[in-house]
């Protein structure tokens, strides 16, 4: 694909309370509707009106926050949308490959080919307190070994049905041709799965495989399996380094750079003018619980940031060492601190950035400036698209769709209509071949030959 042909891809990270830490207090926010399906339908249809590629919902297995289960939510949204992709987060550490393969195949059928799986290995040590498997929260290298094997099993299960001949209908009966359905007999270090799956291969072959993470292990998992990676870089330089690094890893797995789309998170604060955007940013900052924000930011340091002035530089000499237990998503700490170092931030700037994007880049400006930012990251190979983090829901998404997207279209870097019917088609991703087909075909032919020889 030539540089002129490249277009930006956009996903919306669904969070009814908004992604800014103070956004839920904004007069236009409705955080109390986080369990209301009508609110999710409103948001999904708004995003589809804006020709957004997909919606994404996060998930975890701990804490007291209110969160709908992804498969249930996305299945409901499949019935009230037509084109937008539906991406759900499912952990490989606390689930079973057979169940996950079956549920995503079902979602892909219900949505007519719009399902995507955001593959995560875990969220926090607290998840392990609620799930019996593994006896807790495995250390990172083991989680990624489990995750790699888990994804391989699900792929083989999706491939356990041939494309042709698995189903046939005559005048009276639905008949299943069992010669085209196969056991996978997978035996790995962590999973033993006989198969086959009890649902035919999904409409997309596989749901679009998404991976979220920036650690060394996460990048390798993405290079091997993922087709989209949701990541967090806060500067163009860091984004370019990540982009080049991950794309360079694909060749060892027989893949090319266009097989994987890299989509950093973007918390855009958009106004008609830069001054209007600055006013909104100031308003959101005023809604912050400053004590809580300082406490959250201090977790990276061996000192309490509340003891400093907000206009002091971030005390980088007080950053906790790698040996100190931080818990959670450790790669996010490096992304955040890298941006602090590159931009020589004050504590106020650090809080603003953290509040607006929880580790992702935030950008404040007029709709023209935001379009410039997006185009620059696309042209300079910092991103293939962005995972949008609306600061106030639905206000921020409405402004982005009504102002930024028409400007991106005018520049020829965003679609004016959906290109296809499936999420793969809209993302420009190839439909994966059935990797077991050659094995199944060879076995089937051998059976036919043996049967013919026996008959003679």
The tens digit of pLDDT for each residue in 51-62 reads 999 999 999 998
Query: By C-alpha distance, which of 335, 364, 372 is closest to 235?
Result: 335
pLDDT digits (tens, 9 = 90+) for 307-320: 999 999 999 999 98
More confident: 453 or 419: 419
Q: State the average pLDDT over residues 447-453.
A: 57
pLDDT digits (tens, 9 = 90+) for 375-389: 999 999 999 999 999
pLDDT digits (tens, 9 = 90+) for 209-265: 999 877 888 899 999 999 999 999 989 999 999 999 999 999 999 999 999 999 999
Q: Tell whether the model's pLDDT for residue 441 goes beyond 80.
A: no
Give percent of the chain with pLDDT exceeding 90: 71
Query: By C-alpha distance, which of 214, 194, 255, 193 is closest to 121?
Result: 214
Q: State the average pLDDT over residues 294-302.
A: 90
Is 286 part of any known ligand binding site?
no
What pLDDT was estimated at residue 3?
67
What pLDDT was estimated at residue 172?
63
Is 144 part of any known ligand binding site?
yes
Q: Tell whether the model's pLDDT for residue 10 goes beyond 90.
A: yes
Query: By C-alpha distance, which of 295, 329, 267 is closest to 60?
Result: 329
* Helix ranges, 159-212 (H): none
- Which tokens go with 443? 């076995």
Q: Tell whether the model's pLDDT for residue 12 goes beyond 80.
A: yes
Query: Among 38-42, 183-187, 374-378, 442-446, where is mean pLDDT lowest?
Result: 442-446
What pLDDT was estimated at residue 449?
54
Q: What number of H helices and E strands is found in the chain? A: 16, 13
What pLDDT was estimated at residue 325?
47
Q: Tell whether the model's pLDDT for residue 4 goes beyond 70.
A: no
More confident: 179 or 191: 191
Q: Which residues pair with 84 in a beta bridge?
A: none
Q: Which residues pair with 313 in a beta bridge?
A: 346
Whether the CB-CB separation of 22 and 284 falls below 8 Å is answered with yes
What pLDDT was estimated at residue 134?
82
Structural domains of the chain, ranges and CATH numbers in brackets: 3-274+360-452 (3.20.20.30)
Give percent of the chain with pLDDT exceeding 70: 90
Is 215 part of any known ligand binding site?
yes
Coil, helix or strand for 364? strand
Q: Tell whether the model's pLDDT for residue 332 goes beyond 80.
A: no
Is 59 part of any known ligand binding site?
yes
Coil, helix or strand for 309? coil
- Which tokens go with 87? 């991406």
pLDDT digits (tens, 9 = 90+) for 339-351: 888 889 999 888 8
Nearest-5° Cα angle at 368, 366 to 370? 70
Query: By C-alpha distance, which of 249, 241, 245 is closest to 223?
Result: 249
Is 214 part of any known ligand binding site?
yes
């Amino acid at each position: 694909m030539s540089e002129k042909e490249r277009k930006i891809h956009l996903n919306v990270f669904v969070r009814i309370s908004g992604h800014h830490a103070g956004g839920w207090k904004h007069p236009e926010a409705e955080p109390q509707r986080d369990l209301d399906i009508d609110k999710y339908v409103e948001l999904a249809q708004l995003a589809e009106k804006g020709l957004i590629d997909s919606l994404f919902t996060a998930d975890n297995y701990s804490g007291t926050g209110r969160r709908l289960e992804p498969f249930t939510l996305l299945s409901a949204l499949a019935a009230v949308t037509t084109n937008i992709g539906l991406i759900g987060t499912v952990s490989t550490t606390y689930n079973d490959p057979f169940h996950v393969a079956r549920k995503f195949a079902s979602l892909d059928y219900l949505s007519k080919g719009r399902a995507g799986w955001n593959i995560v290995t875990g969220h926090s040590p607290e998840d392990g307190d609620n799930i019996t498997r593994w006896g807790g929260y495995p250390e990172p290298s083991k989680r990624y070994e489990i995750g790699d094997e888990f994804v391989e099993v699900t792929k083989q299960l999706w491939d356990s049905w041939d494309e042709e001949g698995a189903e046939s209908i005559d005048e009276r009966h639905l008949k299943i041709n069992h010669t085209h359905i196969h056991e996978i007999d997978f035996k790995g270090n962590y999973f033993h799965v006989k198969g086959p799956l009890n649902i035919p291969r999904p409409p997309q072959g596989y749901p679009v495989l998404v991976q979220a993470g920036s650690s060394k292990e996460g990048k390798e998992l993405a290079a091997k399996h993922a087709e989209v990676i949701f990541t967090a870089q806060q500067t163009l330089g860091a984004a370019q380094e990540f982009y080049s690094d991950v794309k360079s890893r694909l060749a060892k797995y027989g893949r090319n750079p266009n097989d994987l789309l890299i989509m950093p998170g973007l918390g855009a604060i958009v106004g008609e003018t830069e001054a209007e955007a600055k006013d909104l940013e100031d308003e959101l900052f005023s809604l912050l619980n400053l004590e809580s924000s300082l406490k959250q930011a201090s977790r990276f340091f061996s000192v309490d940031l509340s003891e400093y002035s907000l206009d002091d530089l971030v005390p980088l000499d007080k950053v906790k060492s790698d040996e100190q237990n931080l818990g959670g998503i450790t790669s996010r700490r490096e992304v955040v601190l890298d941006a602090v170092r590159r931009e020589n931030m004050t504590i106020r700037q650090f809080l603003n950035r953290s509040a607006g994007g929880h580790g992702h880049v935030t950008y404040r400006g007029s709709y023209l400036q935001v379009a410039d930012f997006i185009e620059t990251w696309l042209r300079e190979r910092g991103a293939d698209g962005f995972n949008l983090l609306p600061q106030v829901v639905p206000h921020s998404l409405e402004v982005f769709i009504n102002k930024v997207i028409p400007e991106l279209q005018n520049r020829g870097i965003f679609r004016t209509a959906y290109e296809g019917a499936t999420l793969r088609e809209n993302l420009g991703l190839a439909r994966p071949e059935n990797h077991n087909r050659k094995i199944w075909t060879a076995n089937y032919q051998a059976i036919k030959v043996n049967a013919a020889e026996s008959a003679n």
